[in-house]
Amino acid sequence: MRKKLSLLLAMAGVLLFLSGCTQIDQDVSAESTGFWNEFVVWPLSQTLLFFADFFSGSYGMAIIVVTIIIRLVLLPLNVKQLKSSKSMQEIQPQLQELREKYSSKDAQTQQKLQQETMSLFQKNGVNPLAGCLPIIVQMPILIGFYHAIMRTPEIQSHNFLWLELGSPDPFLAILTAATTFLQQKLMMAGMSGAAGANPQMQMMLYIMPLMIGTFAFFFPSALAVYWIVGNVFMILQTVFIRKPMMKESTGGADK
């Protein structure tokens, strides 16, 4: 679990680096150079403009629709991640038995624990990295969409509902944190008791919403709209896909 926590924090660091250090202060255009601009940010920006025209110039609706489309495209990866999580949950009792059997911290015992753990993974066809790989694949797409929103000048000067899409909105920042918390809470509700009560998991339950909510207080509300719509999609995915899957793995028990 410490490795997963470290991976999440590392990915958050990569997100911050890419968000702040790759021409984020420059408008994207057909003249923008580089693979990132030409094949990721510019096409996504043009997609936003296309749907804005379709909705009579509403860039807010364009962000909502494109966010949903991207989440639908990434849905197979998310399902793969959920299946991997389910498989890991099914072998948690055996993993706990191994940890208790090899509880000594000396190098020889810990090496034996690693060998037995890998043998258990192979026996049950579980890849411990399978749950992380879909997240890594998704990141460039999601970061690219973030850039498309931030670097499309038409969005920065547009209003949607009560929002000025180019300016932060405190209410949306709170809503961003709340939906992030709810999404993670629902995901943890489908885990086994030991995994769901893990201190690191509990810590991430509060750290991630606080971090994303803080970003939303300073970033344009257009980005908050993107985060909230993505969170709502993931909440629905959890309710309709992950929760039944997790119930099936625990014999129908309601966690």
Tell the residue number behind the tokens 């719509």, with chain if given.
Answer: 229
62: pLDDT strictly greater than 80: yes
pLDDT tens profile 78-115: 777 777 767 777 777 888 888 887 777 777 777 888 88
Residue for token digits 């110039």? 57
170 exposure class (CB count in 10 Å sphere: 0-12, 13-18, 19+) = exposed
pLDDT of residue 135: 62
In angstroms, the CA 8 to CA 231 distance is: 17
Angle of helix 59-73 relative to helix 133-150, nearest 10 degrees? Answer: 160
Type of residue at 72: L
State the virtual CA torsion across 86, 92, 95, 96 in degrees, nearest 10: 160
pLDDT in tens, 168-180: 888 998 999 999 8
- pLDDT at 185 (0 to 100): 79
For residues 227 and 180, give the distance between their C-alpha atoms in angstroms, rounded to a whole number: 8
pLDDT at 196: 46
- State yes or no: pLDDT of 144 exceeds 80: yes
How many CB atoms neighbour CB 195 within 10 A? 16
Helices 133-150 and 221-237: crossing angle, nearest 10°?
A: 150
Read off the tokens for 72.
Answer: 């639908």
Three-state DSSP at 163 gives strand
Please state the rounded mean pLDDT for residues 131-146: 70
